[in-house]
Structure 1
Amino acid sequence: MKAIIYRDNGSPEVLQLVDRDLPVPGPGEVRVRVAVSGVNPTDWQARSGVAHAKLFTEVTPHLDGAGVIDAVGEGVEQSRAGQRVWLYMAAAGRPTGTAAEYTVVPAERAVPLPDDAGFDLGASLGVPALTAHRALTVAENGPSRLRPGALDDQVVLAAGGAGAVGHAVIQLARWAGATVISTVSGPEKARLATAAGAHHVINYREGDPATEIHKIAPNGVDIIAEVALGANLALDLAVLRTRGTIATYANDGGKPVELNVAQNMVLNTRLQFLVLYTAGLQARAAAVEDVAAAVRDGALPVGEEHGLPLLRLPLHRTADAHRAVESGAVGKVLVDITS
């Protein structure tokens, strides 16, 4: 089979297209014929060594993907063979991710994908959707699970709504009944956030965004899903309600975070940092179940008409896919395995 591998941390040039033997699923595992592989910032960060040192002699990257189970290991129901699935955390703690024609994963990391949901959608879930779910379920007295109605009467602010996680925050929050505000940096990203389903979109580079947000949410925002904490913290605190939550999953731009302790004490701010790897099995399992339910409801579509443009590249151009994500490409970068 064809696979992308790297043996040393470094730039995208370390990625190589090679031939490898077909993997065999072990107990509790399934083998998936991968159709589409999804690329996330954590993938290039792992490749470059920014996230962590390389754990294996040889690594096939990418956490997310979608395809069809073609073989099962001991202890897995044989009926799963032939099942369409989306994959998450395929390369987490393992040397083989989804940048290959076939990959082997624990059976629970291969989630059934409805027949009416394309592989593009399946490969776009994983890290973005599960991260978004976590951001929306960590608030004090808020729901730990998402379903229609779970966020009724809540106001959610999705910072950077044109990004993959921001897009998923908008869609999941709207599915769960929230009023959704998104902040963006310009008109093109505003168009995408609106297409994703945001009720209100505000350009934070124009006028007084805090005043505009307070017009929508006079009592303040309940949950803020934050992608650039250092750059946006002042605005976040200006619009957060008392005992509100800022759930931060990134610090795009790298601006240092400076906290006014007294201001946050008065607000009783909940500042929640999150990453899937250490979120815990229970939180991840709940997220998988709820995201799967949202997919069945048709609540998480992708594509430019739904606010998430798709940038597609073939397997042999995986290095270019990494460059695109690393340079901040708008939308979702996908690698077509079978092209």
Structure 2
Amino acid sequence: MQVISYSTFGPAADVLHLKEMPTPTPEAGEVVVRLAFSGVNPSDVKARAGARPGVTKPAFDTIIPHSDGAGVIEAVGAGISPDRIGTRVWVWNGQWQRAFGTAATHICLPAEQAVPLPGAVSLETGAILGIPGLTACHAVFGGGDIAGKTVLVQGGAGTVGLLAVQLAKWGGARVIATARGDGINAEQKAGADAVLDYTQADLGAAILAANGDTPVDRIIEVEFGINAAVDAEVIAANGTIAAYGSAKDMTPVMPFGPMLFKAVTIDVILIYLLPAAQRAQAVTRLHDALQAGALTCPVDRVFALEDCAAAHVAVEAGTRAGAVLVDVSR
């Protein structure tokens, strides 16, 4: 099989290399997926760059990056029905705590991590469902039913944010989103009831005004550190801040007093560690939304496998309007 791999941290163009490796043979409980697309996420590029706190060298001698992907099951190990061969699937946690991820023509992994792709859902969409899809879905629905509630999606023009807006609308919520530039139009097209420029003065007052001067019930938060004060201002009593990122301030000063007297729940989300029952619920909701035609997964660019370094650079630039995929169907 052909793969992209790295053995040291560094710039994508310096450390990512195209090479041949033996196609794996599945062991008991495993499947081999012939991949069509691999999804590139910010966590993938940070891991390759060595940007994770306290990590000074790769965890394995050779790493094939990327956790998300989609393709067709080509082989199964003992204990797995051969009927699964030929099934279109999407992959989650492909490279989480494992050496070999989805930046390859094939991946071997536990059968439960290869989820049957419903109906006519494309393989491109399948490659977006792992980290962005599950994160958005759990952030929106992790606290239960949202029908009739107000959901604020902070910094909502990223892939997770765009999916969260659509899922929240499908779930029956009023949706307010914050973005800037072209992201404002993207969030409006995704169905947000109101979209605000997050650089504007007195953002908290603007959010409340957009909700009829009423606090919001749930906040989907991409930058907890820099938004904590605004979130504390606009969240309702007993509301929840579902935070899946804080890259611009990883050691935030939290306005504990305002949050205390609203009994705010802060739900820190790391989708890699989602318990099995909650993951199953998120998978079901994602599939239901897709089959209902309520969810579109935007793709910004698709790169060839040999151009994987350029795909990493595109994600690092932070200016994309959707997911970045690598076509691995060689």
TM-score bracket for the superposition, by shorter chain length? over 0.9
Q: Identify the residue that residue 8 of structure 1 maps to in structure 2.
A: 8
The amino acid across from 2:301 in the alignment is L
Alignment of 1:233-272 (within 5 A): 233-254=228-249, 256-272=251-267
Larger mean Cα displacement after TM superposition, 284-293 or 116-125? 284-293
Gaps of 5+ in 1: 144-149, 303-307
Instruction: Write the distance in 1 (CA, Å) between the matches of 2:7 and 2:48.
Output: 9
After TM superposition, what 4+ stretches of structure 1 lie above 3 angstroms from structure 2?
Answer: none
The yes-or-no answer on 1:64 pairing with 2:68 is yes
Which letter does structure 1 place at the counterpart of 2:327? D
Aligned counterpart, 1:216? 210
Give the structure 1 partner of residue 329 of structure 2: 338
- Work out the CA distance in 2 between the residues paired with 1:254 and 1:233: 10
Q: Does the residue aligned with 1:136 lie in a helix, a strand or coil?
A: helix
1:186-197 equivalences in 2 (<5 Å):
186=181, 188-197=182-191
CA offset digits 1:153-194 (Å, max 9, x no partner): 1111111111011112112211211111110022x1111111
Cα deviation code 1:237-285 (max 9, x no counterpart): 2211111111111113237411222222111111121112333233223
Q: Is 1:181–1:198's contact at 8 Å kept on the other side of the alignment?
A: yes
Of 274-283 and 40-49, deviating more is 274-283
Match of 2:318 among 314, 322, 328: 328
Distance 2:28 2:262 in 1: 50
Partner Cα distance (1:251, 1:283) in 2: 23
1:125 aligns with 2:119: no
Looking at structure 2, the residues matched to 176 and 105 of structure 1 have their Cα atoms a distance apart, in angstroms, of: 32
User: How many angstroms does 1:309 deviate by?
Assistant: 4.2
> For residues 125 and 177 of structure 2, what CA distance do their matches in structure 1 show?
22
TM-score (norm 1): 0.90
Counterpart Cα distance in 2 of 1:34 and 1:309: 17
Task: Kindly provide the CA deviation profile for residues 71-114 of structure 1, in whole angstroms up to 9, marking residues without a partner as x.
Answer: 11111111111111111111112211110011112111111113
Among 141, 166, 170, the alignment partner of 2:165 is 170
| C-alpha distance in 2 between matches for 1:107 and 1:196 | 33
Structure 1 residue 316, shift from structure 2 partner: 0.5
Query: Which segment is superposed worse, 36-45 or 115-124?
Result: 115-124
Q: Is the partner of 1:61 in helix, strand or coil? A: coil
Does the CA contact (< 8 Å) of 1:84 and 1:115 recur in 2?
Answer: no
Q: How many residues align?
A: 324
TM-score, scaled to structure 2? 0.93
